Each structure stands twice: as C-alpha cells, then as structure tokens.
Amino acid sequence: MRAYNFCAGPAALPTAVLEKAQQELLDWQGKGLSIMEMSHRSKDYVAVAEKAEADLRELMNIPENYQVLFLQGGASLQFSAIPMNLLGKNSKADYIHTGIWSEKALKEAQRYGDINVIEAGTSIDGKLAIKNQSEWNLSQDAAYVHYAENETIGGIQFADIPDVNVPLVSDLSSSILSAPLDVSKFGLIYAGAQKNIGPAGLTIVIVRDDLLDQSRSDIPSILKYSAQAKNGSMVNTPATYAWYLSGLVFEWLLEQGGVDAIHQVNLEKAKLLYGYIDSSDFYNNPIAVPNRSIMNVPFTLADEALEKLFLQEAEENHLLNLAGHRSVGGMRASIYNAVPLEGVQALVNFMDTFVQKHG
C-alpha cells in the first residue's frame, strides 16, 4: 500500500508516472537499455526532451518569444544566476520580501547589484498577510522585480500577480502548474522540479527572449541563459532522468485535463483542509485568508506537547511528512498536484479522530 505523502519536497509523484517509469526502467521502448544509460545527444533522447518542452508549453500556454530551459542546481542556484543574467546593463533590482525563500533570493542578489528590499509582510487580525501593492516602495529604474509567488515554508501566497513596469521575475517552485498563469506578464519564471514537476535535480527557467542579452560579462557559461537556450539546455550533460520523468508528469497532467482541471481539484483539496482547520478549536492556520497557499498548508495544535504523538499516529495511518519546517515548527501539509483528494480526506479524518482521542 502506498502512503499519502505530504512532503514539501522532494514531493509526491503521480502513481501512474512511477508505474510507467518502472515499466521502462530496464528497457526503454524496446531499445534494450534504460533511458538513464542513453546519450543525451542521441536522436531518441532529444525527442524525449523536445516532447517534454512541447507539453510544458501547451500546459502553460507559453508564448513563442520565451525560451524554456531545463537546468540543474535547483531554484537556489537561480538565486545567483538571475542577477548575473539580468544585472549586466542595470545593476539595480527590487526584491519583495515575504518569507524565507524570498529572503534567500535577495541575499544572493545583493552579491551582484544594488538591491532594493521591499518588506511586504504584514499582519491582519493576528494572521500573516501580504501588503497591498500600493504600500510597496518600488524603484523607478530597476532592471527587474523579483518575488516568491508562494512561500513553501510559511504557506503564504500572493493573491494577484504584481503589476509592474519592468520585467517581473518569480520563483514558482511550489505553485507552478497548480493553477492557470498568464506567462506573458513575466519576464522570467523559475521553479525547482521537486514539488509539482518531477524529481529533484532539475530546474525549469522560462525567460523572455529580450532578456537574454542582459548578462554580466563575468557570468559562467553554464549559468548563462543565452548559452543554454542556444544549446538546447545542454551546455553540459543535463539531468536526463529527471527531465524524462518530468516529461511523464506533463503527459499525466494533460491526461487529467490540463492545468485548468487540476486547479479545480487543488481548490477542492484546499477548501476541505482549511475548512476543517477553521471549524476546529484544536487546529489553527496562521495565514490571512486572502494569502493562504493552496499548495502548502501550515497548522498548529492547541497543545504543542502533542505534536510528536500527532506525527507518530499520522505515520501509523500512512500519512507521511506532516512535520513543519524546522525553522517554524508546527505541522504542514503540502497538497501538490500529485496528492489526490482522497489523501486530503484521509488527513482530515485522521485530524478529527486525533482531536476526539487527545483534544
């Protein structure tokens, strides 16, 4: 029996994807070898890579004037790659600070340019929230504005896409493909794969063509978007198996009806879990309703001393990885695309039973 996995990342993958990968593990499509053993420049592998890109473009309606790059190093490497690629002609950028991941990004960017930090976090009736854009002190001459659309650790998400007059850059690691998105509103989108795309080891970068000539002269070639775009994301050997598995996830998403369809499921999952938390005196979510993440749901127990028991009994009920991030504690359920509605129903049933026993 497969358990329900609520890990924030590396996260759950669709069972159908894992089963197909298992079937093809030793002999990919009758070729007599695993795709892990195949040259990344072979005709067969290039076809796999190109199909993955085409499927992602279809899922996200990515315009033709954007490059889609399949890179390595995780989203964290992009914290450095982005300023090195975009601050070559203008060394100023705005970074919106809403949590741990946006803070990590801005600290790396400060190594390369003049960074204006916009403290956008606030509190509404004791709940964490994001300030209205009218309260932000945006620069007039920034090369770009960066924000983390969904803070995986804090469970706080932007209700709307910021409206800015310069290229908008967003970390979408924990929300990509979870809801429809107008890619044309962004200059650059990036996302670590290990939450909603595929296994760890791959990072997606979607960058508008006009931003490919903005890099610093001292940027390493492996980090340079224009070089990666010119070489089909193969300046060096890419993460071939992660790329292949991500392609299987894209196929699975298309079979589910695409992003619009999976978004409706995600809304139903979030409504069920938040609804139960809000109806309980035992559980609490610390985020203001407009900024609640539909992917990462943190919650606390009325009695902190019961946390270890909660996690122990959850695991006994095949509900895994519910501990909150070590920096904030509490609990967190990450309900990404691959977590089925039945998994959230099982979690809510367990939470209710736990209250009856120990509340």
Catalytic choice (28, 55, 94, 195): 195
195 is catalytic: yes
Catalytic choice (28, 55, 171, 269): 171
Which residues, 6 or more positions from 173, have their beta carbon under 8 angstroms from its beta carbon? 9, 75, 101, 150, 152, 190, 191, 192, 195
Which stretches does DSSP call E strand in the chain? 4-5, 66-71, 92-97, 114-119, 121-124, 127-130, 145-148, 150-151, 156-157, 168-171, 188-192, 203-208, 283-284, 296-301, 319-320, 331-334
Return d(Cα 49, Cα 36) in angstroms, integer. 13
Structure tokens that stand for 304 in this block: 């902190």
For residue 150, which of 177, 171, 166 has the smallest C-alpha distance? 171
141 is catalytic: no
55 is catalytic: no
For residue 287, which of 62, 316, 81, 295 has the smallest C-alpha distance? 295
Catalytic choice (101, 224, 243, 252): 101
Instruction: Give catalytic residue positions.
Output: 101, 171, 195
